[in-house]
Structure 1
Amino acid sequence: MSLTLASLAAAWGGCATGNASGDTTASSSSSSSGEGGAGGLGGGGTGGVGGIDFDAGGAGGQGGACVSTSAEARRIPLDIIFLIDQSGSMSGAKWNGTKSALTTFFNDPASLGIGAGLVYFPTQEPYDCNPTHYALLDVPIDALPTNAFPLTNSMPADATGIGTPTYGALKGALSAAAAYQDTHKTHKVVVVLATDGEPLGCEPKTVDDIADLAESALDYNGVRTYVIGVAGSQLTTLNKIAAAGGTTAAYDITQDISEFAAKMAEIRQVALGCDFEIPEAPNGMEIEPNQVNFTYMPKGVGMPKLLPRADDLADCKDLPGWYYDSNAGPTKIILCPASCTTVQADSSAKVNVLFGCNSILN
């Protein structure tokens, strides 16, 4: 799905009540009525939006017609910290391919607005295993394309580092990512590790130790770890790190470094995901989390289709729907994988968040 969905419309609503002047209809408001039941991604009822009956007695009925006011929302901003292996084994064609792929990504119009930072490992000090050295990014996070030149200009002519301190480097990069996520709570921060070899040159650390770092960052505040395996790497090792970091498996370019750019484009699409901000309520209204609904309009035309709400990712059960990042204190709306795949593939899709009627549950 293209970034056009960043301009989705959200509707804040409540049941129609009189105001000081006796008017029962809010400005820029709308109400829907009908007798249809709750509709899924593939269909809806005969009335309402996606089959919701917004009048009294319907699934979302509040004892009167719901009145909504539009507010603008946008996709959750994405920030990526790149952790790039510059050990000597990456020199030559592999390094040239890495630089080319990153240059393409940083300057691609599809990357517009993505925050990007970068750190190389090892540092110029041989076998530098100190995590704090990698927590200090070589290029701090800033939005693309503004940061494109500092990022590309930082790339050395060739990879000449000594050692592959994967544990220390990943610990430092994840620390930086977690700290950035803590101070940018409405953003989505991820780490992309690209390497061609097994850990080398530091105190003994198993692949499980390294995977535990990725799992800890994911558990702490949701930072995911994507992994790209360049020729020379052991995919079984990298797959374990990626799985622990919440991204299932490493991206395999062991046979062809020229695939690096394509894999980066895949990561961009997946990492952008289907996370949407919950917009601030207009006119001093407050969020009622249990009075939120989400609709998807294929190709941007026709009848919106209701996506039911799930409790969490596990409750999606491979079915269409959405859920909150936190039911106790929601800050994001996240589409279930089945709906995310559908919406991302539809560049003309329109999605809406509707407030004021009881959530339709899966």
Structure 2
Amino acid sequence: MIRLRSISLAAMSAMIATVAFAGCGSDGGSGLPNDPGGNPGGPNGDNPGGDIRGGGKGDGGTSGNIGDVANCAAATAQSALVKVNLITMFDKSGSMGRYKDDSGNWIDNTAKRWTPVSKGMTAFYSDPKSAGMNATLQYFPLSDSKGNICNVGTYSSPSVGLTPLPNGAFSNSLSATTPEGNTPTEPSLQGAVNTARAILASRKGEKAVVLFVTDGEPNGCSSTVDGAAKIAEDSYKGIPAAGIPSVPVYAIGVGPSTGAIDRIATAGGTTGVHVDVDNPDQTTSQLVSELQKIRGSVMSCSFAIPEPSDKREINFDAVRVNFTNGAGQATTLKYNETCAGNDGWRYDVKPSATVKPHSITLCANTCSTIQGDPNGKINIAFDCKGNGGGPIH
């Protein structure tokens, strides 16, 4: 069995994961990623374990050889952690600043909402620890050339295009923006999802997440909470048959409104975040803290799948994703296509005869568990197609 380099999770965002490919023979069992067979790996975390295709579980110290892995030709490649693209849709409605209430009285929330939230966003975009991420920024509401704020296309073209972080362009954009208008949640959220999908279409193997920041319930363009939740759900599910990967939606609520935030986030595969607005300094620090948590989650739990150096085909039904905790106990993580229950791992898209995944992502609970073990190690191994390791012609 090919040995893998271990990853120290405490420094995962700055390190490289080694993914090894071994050509396997034709014997074996079901060939499914969640087959219970296969050795969970050596106790020191540097052995990926045996072939899962019908192999025995092993004893934690010896490699399986159901596919005669040890005698097959092997290819090795290094895989950097997946580049993450943060697609931000930021609420600049009047309630974030100065607006008239239903009685015609002026209410000024600028000091409590717009200013501290913009300050927090600027701090995150400028943070050196955000290096390794790209980001976009768009606002809502916005009008197209005909004054229509319901045009999804308007929200699909970011005010700040895809830019590596840290970067001061976001601070300049926020400083030049004034809150006004209502809250067209549906077209703006759909625009963010469209942006994310367009980026992934041109940047294969990368990951995109939507960050939706708002202070209120949907208001405008016939937007509803149900409609926004459906958009988030579709984004998270992706369209596997068309090779469109999952795009999680993170929703941050600024102010007292919680219903829409929780519904949108849950449908988008995440958990709603609520930022208090009673104390401006606290609002900024709390927002920065929540953004850092999101950054840690999306950057530390995805791994790119490189091409084997000898151009053979990967067998996506024969994969081992193994975790060795700080106490040396090795576990093979189960494949979980939809991350139901939030345990295990998934591909960015379901593999098929015509669709090839580009990355592996740990499900939320598994990700949290691993992030909480600074001495743990992750190993990932694939087998290649072909009898005895020979190339496919």
- Residue 245 of structure 1 corresponds to 268
Q: Distance in 2 between matches of 1:307 and 1:224?
A: 25
How far 1:4 sits from its partner (Å)? 4.0
Q: Distance in 2 between matches of 1:97 and 1:169?
A: 22
**SS of residue matched to 2:288:** helix
Q: Distance in 1 between matches of 2:45 and 2:293?
A: 38
Q: Distance in 2 between matches of 1:171 and 1:47?
A: 42
Question: 148, 163, 168: which is aligned to 1:149?
Answer: 168
Preserved contact between residue 50 and residue 66 of structure 2 (Cα < 8 Å): no
Superimposed CA distance per residue, residues 279-301 of structure 1 (whole angstroms, 9 cap, x where no aligned partner): 211223321223332333446xx
Residue 38 (structure 1) aligned with residue 39 (structure 2)? yes
Q: Distance in 2 between matches of 1:318 and 1:139?
A: 33
**SS of residue matched to 1:84:** strand
**SS of residue matched to 1:73:** strand
**SS of residue matched to 1:205:** coil
Preserved contact between residue 83 and residue 194 of structure 1 (Cα < 8 Å): yes
Compute the TM-score of the two structures, normalised by the length of structure 2: 0.71
Kindly report which structure 2 residues correspond to 1:293-308, keeping only aligned pairs within 5 A, or say none.
293-298=320-325, 305-308=330-333
**SS of residue matched to 2:86:** strand
**Over the residues paired in the alignment, what is the CA RMSD in angstroms?**
3.5
Change (3 A) 1:14 1:37: closer
Identity rate of aligned residues, in percent?
31
How far 1:353 sits from its partner (Å)? 2.2
Q: Distance in 2 between matches of 1:88 and 1:163?
A: 6
How far 1:344 sits from its partner (Å)? 2.2
How far 1:155 sits from its partner (Å)? 0.8
How far 1:192 sits from its partner (Å)? 0.8
Kindly report which structure 2 residues correspond to 1:1-362, keeping only aligned pairs within 5 A, or say none.
1=9, 2-4=11-13, 6-14=15-23, 38-39=39-40, 49=47, 52=50, 60-62=64-66, 64=68, 66=70, 68-90=74-96, 91-123=110-142, 128-145=149-166, 148-156=167-175, 159-200=178-219, 202-220=220-238, 221=244, 222-232=246-256, 234-247=257-270, 249-255=271-277, 257-258=283-284, 259-298=286-325, 305-314=330-339, 321-325=344-348, 326-328=350-352, 329-347=356-374, 349-356=376-383
Q: Distance in 1 between matches of 2:13 and 2:266?
A: 30
* Aligned partner letter, 1:293: R
Q: Distance in 2 between matches of 1:95 and 1:65?
A: 59
How far 1:69 sits from its partner (Å)? 4.4
* Aligned partner letter, 2:47: V
* Aligned partner letter, 1:38: N
Preserved contact between residue 50 and residue 306 of structure 1 (Cα < 8 Å): no
**SS of residue matched to 1:82:** strand
Preserved contact between residue 22 and residue 69 of structure 2 (Cα < 8 Å): no
Q: Distance in 2 between matches of 1:15 and 1:214?
A: 40
Q: Distance in 2 between matches of 1:161 and 1:71?
A: 51
Change (3 A) 1:283 1:295: same
Change (3 A) 1:108 1:45: closer
How far 1:78 sits from its partner (Å)? 0.8
Q: Distance in 2 between matches of 1:132 and 1:214?
A: 17
How far 1:169 sits from its partner (Å)? 1.8
Superimposed CA distance per residue, residues 23-52 of structure 1 (whole angstroms, 9 cap, x where no aligned partner): xxxxxxxxxxxxx97348xxx679993664
Preserved contact between residue 13 and residue 299 of structure 2 (Cα < 8 Å): no
- Residue 24 of structure 1 corresponds to none
Segments of structure 2 that go 5 or more residues without pairing to the other structure are 1-8, 26-36, 58-63, 97-109, 239-243, 386-393
Q: Distance in 1 between matches of 2:157 and 2:124?
A: 22
Preserved contact between residue 293 and residue 357 of structure 1 (Cα < 8 Å): no
* Aligned partner letter, 1:194: V
Q: Distance in 2 between matches of 1:46 and 1:124?
A: 58
Superimposed CA distance per residue, residues 165-205 of structure 1 (whole angstroms, 9 cap, x where no aligned partner): 222222222222222222223111111111112233x3433
Preserved contact between residue 89 and residue 159 of structure 1 (Cα < 8 Å): no
Preserved contact between residue 89 and residue 192 of structure 2 (Cα < 8 Å): yes
Q: Distance in 2 between matches of 1:78 and 1:93?
A: 30
Preserved contact between residue 62 and residue 357 of structure 1 (Cα < 8 Å): no
Segments of structure 1 that go 5 or more residues without pairing to the other structure are 17-35
Preserved contact between residue 46 and residue 379 of structure 2 (Cα < 8 Å): no
Aligned pairs, how many?
326
Preserved contact between residue 9 and residue 351 of structure 1 (Cα < 8 Å): no
Q: Distance in 2 between matches of 1:187 and 1:63?
A: 31
Compute the TM-score of the two structures, normalised by the length of structure 1: 0.77
